[in-house]
Amino acid sequence: MNKYPHLFQPGRIGTVEVKNRIVMAPMGTIGPLVDYDGTFSDRAITYYERRAKGETGLIITGLSLVDSKIEPWETDGVNTSITFDSLWKVPNFLQLTERVHDFGAKIFVQLSAGWGRVFPGTLAEHLARKGARFVAASSGPLFWRPDILARELTTDEVDELVRAFGNAAMIAKQSRFDGIELHGHEGYLMDQFTTALWNKRTDKYGGDLMGRMQFILSIIKAIQETAGGDFPIIYRYGLEHKIAGGRTIDEGIEIARILDKAGVAGFHVDAGCYENWYWPHPPEYQPPGCMVDMAALVKPHVGVPVITVGRLGYPDLANRVLEEGKADFVALGRPLLADPDFAAKARKGEEKGIRPCIGCHECFARLRARLSLSCAVNPQCGDEERLTVRPAAARKKVMVIGGGIAGMEAARVCALRGHDVALYERSDRLGGTLHVAGRADFKQDIARLLVYQVGRLEQSSNIRIRLMTDVTPDAIKSENPDVVFVATGSAPLCEADIRGLGDARWVTPDDVYRDNLPDGKTACIVGGGSVGCETALYLAKQGWSVVLVEMLDTVAADLFDANRLMLLVLLKQYGVKLLTRSKVREAGASFVLVDTPGGEKRFATDLLILCTGRQPVNGLGQAVREHVKEVYVIGDSVAPRKIKDAVWEAYKLAITV
């Protein structure tokens, strides 16, 4: 029997039967995934096809525009988004739908009216210099660029957008898409029309709730008239915005009732908006299934399927949500970036073989940088053809020194290519800093990544693992490898310009996560990067009183916005005192003196924690080159960086060996 029967039961959305209950949530399709003319690039088509091959039941594309003229989306004559505005694009769209359908998956296109008040900041600046005028439901500043004012759309322009949706639906149907999802969440243009906080209009598209819903209702009617009443429409929206003046749960339920009567075939329910980005884009600090309750609240009030979303990349949890009747489908976004075979592996009961999303949002950081969508732990994502793992032309003897994330990835990929791999690790276990990085309850996906990586190595017949082994130049000479990867990692910096540091009880973050701590209840953390902030939260959740001191004017600046915003909320919730533009000047056995903008302050402190960075450990680099021609230094051995950097570096080099 299938281990997850509810997850792999067929379901229906309107007239469309879906082979299982796994939906690929829409994610940004920009940069190299978009051709200059607003069509899907070959890379984009392969990207979606790969998720269909992995047995995903329903794929929803990233947002596509219905019009690129009213809102200034073209830059220098080049489209920056997929646009469903011309029939001549149908042959391109048919390539996508045919290749997805080949694997038994269904595919809906997500259609959007545009960004409105949340128009991307960097692109807005570029277009503003060229004289572009930005639009919104009502006049107001852009969220990312409050110095730029958006004008209110005219009634005629809104009418034109409605007609554009009808035209886009006709194009989608001719392109053999199975249905449409309307992009009505997160504070984008459609969401702005439905929300009193952002819609101050006095025409037929404003006023009370029914007035504010006229834009959406008109769009639905236009789609039904051009594509037919049996062409399914899913509406994606946040049940509540979780901000003052935004949508409440009661209003969100009333919206569902209105749209159910209007003939939508399903609802895709989340929460939040850009003001609290950690809701619609939940980071690792959010608990698994963080928005299931939103879908569960909608479900009793409608007669059509409800899709839930939000950190559901755990087969047992996803199956339980369906079993308990809290939703009819589960949508996965980033988990399908990390592992396109999520569904296939879950169906076979191979959940330990699922490469986990670690909630870091490196994928969205790339989108912000106008790069293609990809994944920190899966470099092949979004570039499947170029970065595929192919058999090596000649079998080589590969020696990997260091069993952290970079070393494990290099060993894994080299073994997949057919090389004979020996992996040496000086400690008694593989994983390196993943063991400390995944210790906190809010970083358990790092621990899952460790289990995944070790499992792949242990299952490979091409890898010999040597633990508790120090590698010396003589050992390298004796091994006589063709290729060496040096992945000896990094160590905490244990220096700080603090008077009296020798008298204080101080430790590193590694000591904290290994529970190598003296007794105490008050701590001062030096350094407010992500490591310092997460260490502060870890201690505060255990009952410590924590002061964090950072010399810069902000903390956790190395994190993506959604992650940083939520971490700040949690630090406040657990009472961590943040001192920015400050410096620990002196420390003693039971105190610290801190220079702050308001003058010197003294804090009683049982423990000082130096979160001042790490330094590479690479004593073997030059010695290896004396014996081996093909040598690669990777990961933190080069410079301490993020998991993404270690994985990508190891992967991209290993596929060339």
Distance CA 566, CA 276 (A): 8
Distance CA 358, CA 435 (A): 14
Tokens of 283: 């980071």
The radius of gyration of the chain's CA atoms, rounded to the nearest angstrom, is 26
DSSP 605: -
Question: CB-based burial of residue 418 (10 Å sphere; 0-12 exposed, 13-18 middle, 19+ buried)?
Answer: middle
Assign 3-class secondary structure to 541-568.
CCCCEEEEECCCCCCCCCCCHHHHHHHH
Residues β-bridged to residue 600? 595
Q: What angle do CA 220, 118, 383 make, to 5 degrees?
A: 85
Distance CA 426, CA 402 (A): 7
Closest CA to 168 of 213, 212, 225: 225
**161-187 in b/e burial notation, b at 16+ Cβ within 10 A?**
bbebbbbbbbbbbebebbbbbbbbbbb
Phi, psi of 77 (to 5 degrees): 80, 5
Closest CA to 215 of 265, 153, 268: 153
Active site residues: 188
Phi, psi of 635 (to 5 degrees): 70, -150
In one letter, which amino acid is 44? A
Q: CA end-to-end span of the chain, whole Å? A: 42
Q: What angle do CA 507, 512, 514 make, to 5 degrees?
A: 115
Residues 6+ apart with CB under 8 A from 622: none
> How many helical (H) and strand (E) elements, i.e. helices and strands, does the chain have?
22, 31
Percent of the chain as helix, strand, coil, to the nearest 5: 35, 20, 45
Map residue 464 onto helix, strand or coil. Answer: strand
Closest CA to 418 of 480, 453, 460, 456: 460
Cβ-contact 49, 105 below 8 angstroms: no
Closest CA to 212 of 222, 203, 224, 223: 203
Map residue 492 onto helix, strand or coil. Answer: strand
Cβ-contact 569, 606 below 8 angstroms: no
Distance CA 79, CA 30 (A): 10
- Greatest Cα pair distance, the chain, in angstroms, is 82
Question: Residue 292, Cα to own-chain centre: how many angstroms?
Answer: 18
Distance CA 149, CA 499 (A): 50
